[in-house]
Amino acid sequence: MIVVLLGPPGAGKGTQGERIAASLGVPKLATGDVLRAAVKAGTKLGLDAKAYMDRGDLVPDAVILGIMKEALAAPAQANGVILDGVVRTVPQAEGLAQVVKELGTHVDVVLDFVIADELLVDRLSGRTTCETCQKPFTGMPVGTPCPNNDGGTLIRRKDDEPEAVRHRLTVYHAQTKPVLDWYVAQGANVQGINAVGSFDDVFARALKAVGR
Ligand code: AMP
């Protein structure tokens, strides 16, 4: 099953996506994770992407389409994949449709996490992230050793500073919101879920929306 997760930054796509993936027995692909790993490793991809990411801007479509093509071949052809933040512009949605078509498959569900902007600035500004495993945590100060005991330390992502968060929300409304309309116009199976509530409640809604 191929599931596209849509929704603003901080809506919970990452953590919920991980649990949905585990529950469906498929991998999760997050372009944000791929890009951050490239920045950390200092590869050309990372060097090209870093300035966009730090500002909270989108990395150019051509870069994302390259990652999609490379990363999707195996999982999309096997049991499927959960795509977290992979599709953020209409050209990316069109590109993904083409990639999966060439692989002989299609997007099964588009899951849209619905949450008000006001809740997101607080949520993201209070979030710290492990520099090693990239897991986000709330209520844990910068410098705390990662609770996963992977030797990493919790940091604040540059793009989780309040100014960058506000910019990311503006970018989301201008460039990613139209993706939802695009999928609706394509007749895709679009499921909106209320992303406000406990982790377990939102997870239950997400599972129901993907038909489990
Ligand atoms: P995320 O971890 O999903 O919040 O992504 C962090 C940053 O990576 C975003 O703010 C963008 O700069 C970049 N990024 C991740 N995925 C994409 C994408 N599909 N298109 C463009 N930029 C992306």
138-195: pLDDT as tens digits: 999 999 999 999 999 999 999 999 899 999 999 999 999 999 999 999 999 999 999 9
Model confidence pLDDT, tens digit, residues 42-98: 999 999 999 999 999 999 999 999 999 999 988 877 889 999 999 999 999 999 999
Which of 4, 5, 67, 88 has the most ligand 1 atoms within 8 A of CB, as the residue to mutate?
88
Catalytic residue among 28, 88, 123, 205: 88
Is 156 labeled as catalytic in the residue annotation? no
User: Residue 106 corresponds to which tokens in the numbers above?
Assistant: 């299609």
Model confidence pLDDT, tens digit, residues 114-127: 999 989 988 898 99
Please give all residues whose beta carbon lies within 6 A of any atom in ligand 1, as ranges.
Answer: 9, 30-32, 35, 52-53, 56-59, 64, 85-86, 88, 92, 159, 168
Is 135 labeled as catalytic in the residue annotation? no
- The per-residue pLDDT for 81 is 96
Is 13 labeled as catalytic in the residue annotation? yes
Q: What is the dihedral of CA 91, 52, 39, 140, to 10 degrees?
A: -110
- The per-residue pLDDT for 75 is 81
User: Residue 133 corresponds to which tokens in the numbers above?
Assistant: 């495993």
CA distance 176 to 107: 17
Is 88 labeled as catalytic in the residue annotation? yes
Q: Is 54 exposed, middle or buried (0-12, 13-18, 19+ CB in 10 A)?
A: middle
Other C-beta atoms closer than 10 Å to the C-beta of 15 total: 15
Catalytic residue among 13, 28, 123, 205: 13
